[in-house]
Structure 1
Amino acid sequence: MTENFDAIIIGGGHNGLVCGAYLARNGLKVKVLERRHIVGGAAVTEEFHPGYRASTFSYLMSLLHPKVIRELELKKHGLEVLPCSDMYSPLDDDYIVFSDDVKKTQKQFGRFNKHDAGIYPEFDKYIGEAANVVRQLLFDVPPDPSKTDFKSLKELAGFAWKYRKIGNKLYRLIDLLTMSAEDFLRQWFDDTRIRAVLAYYASIGTFVSPRTPGSAYVIIHHIMGEHEGAGGWGFIKGGMGAITQAIASYGRTVGMDVEVDAEVDKIIVEDGRAVGVALKNGREYRAKVVASNAAAPVTFLKLIDEKELPAEFVRDIRNYRTRSSAFKMNVACERLPQYKGLQKALDDGALGSFTYPTYIHIAPDIEYLDKAYTDAKDGWYSTEPFITPVSPTIVDKTLAPPGKHVLNLFGGHAASELKGSTWAAEKDNLVKNTLNTMDRFAPGFSNDIIAMDVLTPDEIEKRVALPSGHIFHGELAPDQLFFKRPVKNYANYRSPLKGLYQCGSSAHPGGGVSGIPGHNAAREILKDNGKKMR
């Protein structure tokens, strides 16, 4: 027997749940279908060794928007944000701490270069204003500049009028979209160690060098949350899965139905319209609206027969770049890494109220970041990867047995497709390179490991269907942003098929656990159905 709904959401990741929750809140009968045994997508908490739980994929709350937190009552449904230390970067013979406290960071930079310390407040203001421009765009539907019908021209004119006062700040955004992180930062800072502190953000989740044109924009993408006082950087008690559990919990209170172990086999299309889905278990569900939280290549190249779509659109989706280089290791350990320079940092009072840094960047200079990329760019992996070790058990004791710890190691670069080999053959070597790097900056760390869950790009794709393991559902490059995300003509959360919408991170404004694509897609779905979102 076929069941009918007002809306079906493909994928129970955070954006799919957000979209479904908003639709249910506004009176629609909603069904969310998740292929795994647990909702959450890349925002899940799972046991990887007896007694040890980790945020399997995403590992920090940095972009979850306060609007989503407030409107979906996530704190009421269990969301509890725990503090995160300032970023600590161990060097071979020293350390740098980077903080959103300008004076604190200025003092740190002054230990290495007086000029860089002196100019930092001006840089912070500059980058903050550029980030504010981007923030204003987050909830907008990108206009289509190619359309010339009256409605589209009116929307474009309205967009231009809304942002008429941006003025010269527009040039800042253009610089970030076109310049490499290294060139952009070199305009401000002389010391390569200081430039590396900021250029590191351009490398997280992207397969680029800090010398790649356009990489400067990714700095903004990552720090937007850091400067968003109501959101900001933080750990979630119980891990990142607590975010998606809270969204699902709220959704259920407004009537959203969530089904796990429900993998969609295909989207049912009739006369140019999406009318439902068929599951791999043989069941079918019908709905007026189908919204896909899956990445664009999955939605349009795997779940739909290509003949149902325009040839040019299919070609554009095929050319949408999802080449990934991220890997993740979740580690159970006897004790946390003893980083070089840590005692000096504690003696200097550089970590404030923290006695151990919870958030670390390992990449001592620009050359290190660039070499990590060049090692991998032709289909291999870094000899010395950049690594983000994150220590949630400093503030969250629910994740490990008493006295033990969980360490999340997120790193790069590791090409999703290897040249002349496979990840089955190379996984152990990647682990070796990563642990050698950790031991360089935290001597003896590898001796304290109890167990590990290693996620190479292919394993990430296998587990949560991120194409090539790309954490953003696709590159954050200038030609894959705003009115070209994921492709031209369809950045408005819609698709060539009536009734089929995009609500995942392939849509504007892109990846990260923000909830914004899900929110915006729900708003557009309701608009098309004569409703105003509340």
Structure 2
Amino acid sequence: MYQVLDALGESVPCANYDSWMVYIPEGDFLSRIGPTEFFKDLEKYASQNAVQEWKRLMDAVLPMSAAAMALPPLSVRGDLGVLSTAAARYAPSLLKSFIQMGPQGALGATKLLRPFSEIIDSLELKDPFIRNWVDLLAFLLAGVKSNGILSAEMIYMFAEWYKPGCSLDYPLHGSGAIVDALIRGMQKFGGRISLRSHVEKIVVENGRAIGVKLRSGQFVRAKKAVVSNASMWDTLGLLPEDIIPKSYSDRVKRTPQCESFMHLHLGFDAEGIHEDLGIHHIVVNDWERGVDADQNVVLLSVPSVLSPDLAPPGKHVLHAYTPGTEPYELWEGLDRSSAEYKKLKLERSEVMWRAVERVLGPGFNRDKCTVKLIGTPLTHQRFLRRNRGTYGPAIQAGKDSFPGHSTPIPQLFCCGDSTFPGIGVPAVAASGAIVANTLVSVSQHSELLDAIGI
């Protein structure tokens, strides 16, 4: 995302932080990033051998991070021009990274496109706390556990979180500040955003995508291509059935989906809440059920801790959610205005309320909240246009791979979490950049890389 903003000549002011609170069956602790900060947590909550196992893991993966990070995502494009913008341009840095890794590290780099669990298993890491922790990090990053995530993604994250002097950024004024920066960047180059312009279908003539028809009846003609960042299932539904190759349709339909979400948005009085409240909190109720089990893991964010302007003076805003673990089947077919739906909302949101009460402590009273908003899979489906409210494709590394960005329909491209490199803001930003790069010449692409200094 930083590279995309650099390309647009935009920036977002951020607050720095280096920790988040963790609430697990073993106890509560403040988890800090950095090379040795995690040792104290392992010594308290894990086995005697845990610190040595963690060191062994870091010794194995950090040398591979040079290879994982040597190729900037913004250098990639979806055609043979990638040989110039990526392969040739960054060959020296890739070679240097392999030399720095040494023979063992270079050999290990072949594992970058394999599931991260294979690295865990090859190191014979036995400590349950470490294995649970790695599964949790993988799930929060990509919606799958360590046996389903690419090693490259995890190694990139480990390098960012567990290196000396590292910190994390939160955009001041909230995530909307990133959206505003992207809009400014697009508009300065002649782009235009149309709100409340629901796409009814992608228009195909003579086998090529030529534009989109809006629900209002307006036709928007594409100058070069149509790019869909809708999910693969929703994009399929926008295309005329008679022009879609059966092989393409079948692949989309058989791709498994991640589950959906429950959300809880609150506004409440800061009085009585402990002053050292951090921005991010993770609650795990039961390791045995697995981090991907429904009603088991709850994430909470209190962004007004770092960006007070997001709430009125003396108030906080809070967002709690179950991260892609809520079964759509429980909600399918319900009338959103029915008593049954409202009852289910109360029942399924209770796990989030309990997590909020655990995080905020006895000074919090749910009955005194100024704002209470509950979101469900049907909310996701309706407002985010997500098929079955899904988080995205549940694609397992080593078994399948995320699709590329071209489609069988000429001039139709896809980006977003249904395409390579997958789920999560960094991955989605990369996918959009790849499509944008593909739609310009190699020389224009190279000029951009020169301009932003990568």
- Verify same fold: TM over 0.5: yes
1:372-405 CA-to-partner distances (Å, cap 9, x unmatched) read: 61xxxxxxx42xx211111211111111111111
Counterpart residue identity of residue 466, structure 1: R
1:246 aligns with 2:181: yes
- Matched-pair contact (CA < 8 Å) for 2:258–2:393: yes
Give the drift of 1:188: 3.0
- Structure 1 residue 265 and structure 2 residue 167: aligned? no
Give the aligned residue type for 1:369. Answer: G
The one of 322, 334, 339 aligned to 2:257: 322
Partner of 2:280: 359
Q: Does 1:498 pair with 2:410?
A: yes
Aligned equivalents of 1:435, 1:110: Cα separation in 2: 31
1:474 equivalent to 2:396? Answer no
Measure, in 1, the Cα distance between the counterparts of 2:10 and 2:262.
29
Q: 1:116 aligns with which of 33, 50, 66?
A: 50
How far apart are the structure 2 equivalents of 1:502 and 1:387? 31
Q: Contact conserved, 1:503 with 1:518, CA < 8 A, in 2?
A: yes
TM-score normalized by structure 2?
0.79
Which residue, 50, 55, 71 being the options, matches 2:7? 71
**Offset at 1:242?**
1.0
- Work out the CA distance in 2 between the residues paired with 1:397 and 1:81: 13
Structure 2 residue matching 1:187: 3-state secondary structure = coil
Matching residue within 327, 337, 349 for 1:415: 327
Given that 1:329 and 1:452 are in contact with CA atoms closer than 8 Å, whether structure 2 keeps it comes out as yes
Conserved 8 A contact 2:321-2:352: no
> Residue 416 of structure 1: CA displacement?
1.9
Instruction: Judge conservation of contact 1:135–1:224 (CA < 8 Å) in 2.
Output: no
- 1:516 pairs, out of 406, 416, 430, with 430
Does the aligned pair in 2 maintain the 1:238–1:396 contact within 8 Å? yes
User: For 2:310, what is the secondary structure of its paired residue?
Assistant: coil
**Amino acid of the structure 2 residue aligned with 1:468:** R
Identical columns (%):
18
Unaligned runs of 5+ in 1: 1-63, 145-150, 340-353, 374-380
Change (3 A) 1:331 1:470: same
1:436 equivalent in alignment to 2:348? no
C-alpha separation between the residues in 1 aligned to 2:356 and 2:129? 18
Residue 290 of structure 2 is matched in structure 1 by 369
Displacement of 1:93 in angstroms is 7.1
SS in 2 for 1:234: strand
Q: Could you tell which deviates more after superposition, 66-75 or 115-124? A: 115-124
Within 1, Cα distance between the matches of 2:65 and 2:365? 38
Query: CA separation in 1, counterparts of 2:166 and 2:197?
Result: 32
Question: Is 2:371 the counterpart of 1:451?
Answer: yes
Give the alignment of 1:260-339 within 5 angstroms: 260-287=195-222, 288-299=224-235, 301-335=236-270
Deviations 1:31-85 (A, max 9, x none): xxxxxxxxxxxxxxxxxxxxxxxxxxxxxxxxx3x3223222221xxx1111234
Q: Call closer, same or farther: CA 1:132–1:467 in 2, change over 3 Å.
A: farther
Aligned to 2:451: none
| Unaligned runs of at least 5 residues, structure 2 | 99-104, 449-454
**Whole-Å separation in 1 of the counterparts to 2:376 and 2:65:** 32
1:169 aligns to 2:108 (yes or no): yes
1:363, 1:369 within 8 Å by CA — same for their partners in 2? no
Q: Is the 8 A contact 2:78 2:434 kept in 1?
A: no
Structure having greater relative contact order (Cα 8 Å, sep ≥ 6):
1
Counterpart in the other structure of 1:387: 298
Equivalent residues of 2:212, 2:221 under 8 A apart: yes
Shift of 1:519: 0.9
- Give the number of the structure whose residues are more often helix, by fraction: 2
How many equivalent pairs are there? 421
Name the SS of the counterpart of 1:257 in structure 2.
coil
Question: How high is the TM-score relative to the length of structure 1?
Answer: 0.68
- How much has 1:459 moved relative to structure 2? 0.9
CA-CA distance at 1:531 after TM superposition: 6.9
Cα gap change, 1:480/1:264 in structure 2, threshold over 3 Å: closer, same or farther?
farther
Residue 34 (structure 2) aligns with: 101
